[in-house]
Structure 1
Amino acid sequence: MSEYAMHTDAHSNFWSTTLGERPASRPRLTANVQADVVIVGAGFTGLWTAYYLKRLAPEREIVVLEAERVGHGASGRNGGWVVGNLAGLERHIGGLSREERRTCCGVVADNVDEVGRVLAHEGIEADFNKGGAIYAAARYRDQIAIQRDYLQHLHELGHSEANCCWLDAEQLSEKARFRNGHGGIYHRQVATVNPAKLVAGLAECVERLSVTIHEQSRAETLSHHKVSTREGSVESPMVVCATEGYADRFLDFKRHVIPVQSLVIATEPLSEARWQEIGMAERPAFADASRLINYGHRTADGRIVFGARGNYYLGARSKADQAIDDEAIRMRRDLLVDLLPALEGVRVEYGWGGSLGLSRNFRPHAILDRRDGLATAGGYAGEGVAASHLFGRTLADLILERDSELVRMPWAFANDSHRRLIKRWEPEPLRWLAAQAITFSYAGEEALMRRDKPAPLLKPALRRLNDRFASIIE
């Protein structure tokens, strides 16, 4: 028997196991119906859009179509971070004045508290915990400079020093004890959540508001003012495509937003003695200064959920199943133990993965094309738990033509088309080859840092190359 093969695919995702027995599937769409708004995708983006549409305009008839079950895609599989930032934010606001940048950063920072407020107001129990996030220099001495530069970037971007501050080694150890805790950034406006509980609770909430959800109702065509499934259709003046990294059937969207795989593990519940060694009493999220991204947090029941180093599959294939193989689990476990040596010998009980959406512009978007009756949001690049809430609110305001602060944000586009705003990705195999080259170069930079020896020519050259790689999709 495999070291980690203790669950079927359906039970490889820790979050899913916290829901208890799932109710029967919601009815499929088996008729031709009409609605004021039809939303494709019952994940965070689709459900938050439905929630705010109903709260703001309760008379509107809203129908949500889901190909599988609620939360089947990235919304039910992710790492559970609620981040007061946006991946790619600098590409939206870099040209704005300092005051305008501060306003935008204030909106994304306050979004975290707004998520918590709505969950409390609606009685959605999703283990929401605002413990902040630690971006640590925790393995290599070279990471100190990397994190110092990133903190300066956050401040120049417009994030306040009160929300983003430096921790020296002693301050870091008070929050979490890493193997080499040299220091790091503390970002106050970050929370964590159980995403499966959140998406399930949100679906029940919108149903109480009279939103209709059809599961097992895969949208096969999106045309002007109509979405068709195998057994029925919805005619509507407004169609919202909320598929993010799962737009396989819609080539027009898949050319602009591609799926990248994110893989995650969950440990067994840790003993109190182990937690005394590790710290994390406030249950912060944590990551270290690696381009090969890693991220984790302490769950409500005392486990660590930890993800790292996503993959891109040739042909831009979304990950439909959830289980990951032993090698993927072992690599993430070893990296976690490298960060937190107190976890030596810990048992990994779950390993799963899903697909996030990455736009060719590497900037998230909320777009309304009123002429074609089509709206979409996505391109969250792995930070979709908070962004989907913010962009769902934004789509609702755009659709209802509200003159709100959100529709004036630089990531909101009214009366425009995703075809014009989001560049198309290059054809295969160019995308795949580029992804492999970038991953190889990032790994080389990390290997040099691991050696902890001077390389006065090679290190700066490789860092400049990787900085260039990080910006080529602007």
Structure 2
Amino acid sequence: MQTRSDKALADTTFFPFWLDRPDAPAASAPLVGATTADLVVVGGGFTGLWAAIQAKEADPSRDVVLIEADRIAHGASGRPGGIVSTSVMHGLGNAQRIFPKDLNALEALGHDNMAGFQDTIERHAIDADLEWTGEMTVAVSKDALPAVREEYDLHREHGHDVEMLDAAQTREQLNSPLFEGALWSRKASGIVHPARLAWGLRRAAIALGVRVHELTPMSSIDDQGMTLLIRTGNGEIRAPRVMLCTNAFAAGHRRIRTRVAMVRDRILTTEPLNAEQKAAIGWANRQGVYDTRTQLNYMRLTPDDRILFGGRLGYFAHSPRDPAEDLTPAPYGRLAEAFFQTFPQLEGIGFSHAWSGPIALTTRMAVHFQTYYGGKAVYAGGYSGFGVSASRFGARVGLAKLMGQDLPETRMEFAATEPNWIPPEPFRAIGAKITMAALDGADAKGGWRRPWLSMVGKLGFPLS
């Protein structure tokens, strides 16, 4: 018997909505032959693009080459929900968890980062459908209200413009029978079209003189003393400095993966809402939204008024680039069911697109840095899904470390230390499988799942 989720997924395109555009730029030419540079950036996602731009703006004479294995934005950066905020450490609560002594400084750095984010977009005339609509964290049960209240108090303590909403006020903003209250953060956060942002940053980098080569996967790095030799399929680059902006793909040194695990996050977009459907849900202020389910869901409106609805983590051993399973309806059924539980008034609507995106998960759930080849290469990554705006910060601090700049932030704990070790395969896959099963059933069934998730949290992965 066909379920409502099956019907909604019947005509779905299994490809990121953000990338499915006729105006997507053509790929730049791959690298062919040998060249040299002052700086090589490996990876053409947000971190790599921000690194290239900031490196050129700091020193226009610097020769910067950026290589991307696929096409710009076709890795993680063209696949997220596209919610931006001031936090550079995966949210204020997570920053308090991992670096309580540096919380005030990290807050200041986050606000400075968002100002720089906005300034770059304006200076380079990047049209990324950026809307400063704020963000909400919604409680999907009365039991979750104390946690949301605690988050509200923390935001107030640190000077954020926030409001605590009761159930009726929350449903006036976004009408769901599940919502029992919400924290609404009003300023310096909102929503963006991630692919258009990445393509705009690409255009800005090229205009500044960055040499961009897409379809150019790195095959190896050799330390040759004063320089590193980066080999690609049809070329090679010699450079004294290399920035490894490979995030979840963890390319550049085999040790990177000992601190980074790739998980997959699934996302659906509906067909555009008609006037009646828009009236049924409200959402006049178009905030980005996170909820408190154990398998967290997040949601936002697209520029053409589709609902993007994401969540439901998955794990695949050995981190394939695009798992075949995620190109089928199977892994999206539960996410679709969660959507209809959230918005029962939209039953019958279809999903136009479904896809998964790679997330670089660490025990900090936030960006970190690893140094290799005697300081000639620095890896920046591990945003754990919150990198759309924090990637600018990660690129800036990573570049400072790579160039030997002695800044206050490079001496802070987040920049000077690494997350905890993560077990290798097959133990990683076994642990991930149990954890995903626990996440799936924790809210409805409880039992062994809550203690398991508590243990996982104590190990450094607060997934619930």
Q: Equivalent residue of 1:111, what SS? A: helix
Distance in 1, matches of 2:152 and 2:455, equals 19
Q: 2:19 corresponds to which residue?
A: 16
User: Quick check: 1:147 aligned with 2:133?
Assistant: no
Distance in 1, matches of 2:130 and 2:13, equals 28
Q: 2:247 corresponds to which residue?
A: 244
Contact 1:320 1:354 in 2 (8 A): no
Structure 1 counterpart of 2:203, one-letter code? E
Q: 2:95 corresponds to which residue?
A: 89
Choose the corresponding residue for 2:421, options 419, 424, 428. 424
User: Quick check: 1:187 aligned with 2:185?
Assistant: yes
Q: 2:63 corresponds to which residue?
A: 61
User: Quick check: 1:467 aligned with 2:454?
Assistant: yes
Residues 28-60 of structure 1 show CA distances to partners (whole Å, capped at 9, x for unaligned) of: 111111111101110101010001011111110
Distance in 2, matches of 1:159 and 1:219, equals 46
Change (3 A) 1:245 1:39: same
Change (3 A) 1:75 1:465: same
Q: 1:51 corresponds to which residue?
A: 53
Distance in 2, matches of 1:202 and 1:185, equals 32
**Shift in Å, 1:346:** 1.3
Contact 2:136 2:184 in 1 (8 A): yes
Structure 2 counterpart of 1:297, one-letter code? R
Q: Equivalent residue of 1:411, what SS? A: helix
Q: Equivalent residue of 1:371, what SS? A: helix
Distance in 1, matches of 2:323 and 2:218, equals 16
**Shift in Å, 1:187:** 2.4
Q: 1:232 corresponds to which residue?
A: 235
Residues 390-445 of structure 1 show CA distances to partners (whole Å, capped at 9, x for unaligned) of: 111222333344454543443223xxxxxx83443212222122222223333343
Change (3 A) 1:109 1:343: farther
The within-5 A match list for 1:123-134 is: 123-134=125-136
Change (3 A) 1:465 1:323: closer
Greater shift, 199-208 or 272-281, is seen at 272-281
**Shift in Å, 1:313:** 1.0
**Shift in Å, 1:110:** 4.5
The within-5 A match list for 1:104-143 is: 104-138=106-140, 140-143=141-144
**Shift in Å, 1:368:** 4.7
User: Quick check: 1:440 aligned with 2:437?
Assistant: yes
Distance in 2, matches of 1:8 and 1:277, equals 26
Gaps of 5+ in 1: 414-419, 450-457
Residues 162-183 of structure 1 show CA distances to partners (whole Å, capped at 9, x for unaligned) of: 3344222233233211213311
Distance in 1, matches of 2:184 and 2:449, equals 27
CA RMSD of aligned residues (A): 2.7
Change (3 A) 1:16 1:215: same
Change (3 A) 1:104 1:23: closer
Q: Equivalent residue of 1:74, what SS? A: coil
Residues 261-292 of structure 1 show CA distances to partners (whole Å, capped at 9, x for unaligned) of: 01111111101222222121121011211121
Structure 1 counterpart of 2:289, one-letter code? F
**Shift in Å, 1:358:** 1.3
Q: 1:453 corresponds to which residue?
A: none
Distance in 1, matches of 2:149 and 2:185, equals 13
Contact 2:98 2:364 in 1 (8 A): no
Contact 2:313 2:436 in 1 (8 A): no
User: Quick check: 1:287 aligned with 2:273?
Assistant: no
Choose the corresponding residue for 2:171, options 164, 170, 173. 173
Contact 1:126 1:195 in 2 (8 A): yes
Choose the corresponding residue for 2:79, options 64, 77, 80. 77
Distance in 2, matches of 1:287 and 1:146, equals 13
Contact 1:260 1:313 in 2 (8 A): yes
Structure 2 counterpart of 1:102, one-letter code? N
Q: 1:455 corresponds to which residue?
A: none
Q: Equivalent residue of 1:179, what SS? A: coil
Distance in 1, matches of 2:148 and 2:177, equals 17
**Shift in Å, 1:326:** 1.4
Distance in 2, matches of 1:319 and 1:253, equals 20
**Shift in Å, 1:347:** 1.2
Q: 2:267 corresponds to which residue?
A: 264
Q: Equivalent residue of 1:375, what SS? A: strand
Distance in 2, matches of 1:385 and 1:268, equals 24
Structure 2 counterpart of 1:421, one-letter code? E
Gaps of 5+ in 2: none
Q: 1:375 corresponds to which residue?
A: 378
The alignment of Structure 1 onto Structure 2 pairs a total of residues equal to 447
Greater shift, 255-264 or 324-333, is seen at 324-333
Distance in 1, matches of 2:157 and 2:393, equals 17
Q: 1:417 corresponds to which residue?
A: none
Structure 1 counterpart of 2:182, one-letter code? G
Distance in 1, matches of 2:208 and 2:252, equals 30
Change (3 A) 1:423 1:191: same
Contact 1:167 1:186 in 2 (8 A): yes
Distance in 2, matches of 1:75 and 1:176, equals 27
Change (3 A) 1:274 1:7: closer
Change (3 A) 1:441 1:8: closer
Q: 1:220 corresponds to which residue?
A: 219
TM-score by length of 2: 0.88
The within-5 A match list for 1:94-105 is: 94=100, 96=101, 100-105=102-107
Q: Equivalent residue of 1:384, what SS? A: coil
Structure 1 counterpart of 2:429, one-letter code? W
**Shift in Å, 1:227:** 1.0
Contact 1:31 1:232 in 2 (8 A): yes
Contact 1:259 1:317 in 2 (8 A): no
Choose the corresponding residue for 1:32, options 21, 25, 34. 34
Change (3 A) 1:468 1:164: farther
Contact 1:38 1:239 in 2 (8 A): yes
Greater shift, 327-336 or 379-388, is seen at 327-336
Q: Equivalent residue of 1:174, what SS? A: helix
Structure 1 counterpart of 2:53, one-letter code? Y
Distance in 2, matches of 1:193 and 1:408, equals 32
Distance in 1, matches of 2:152 and 2:452, equals 21
Distance in 2, matches of 1:221 and 1:320, equals 24
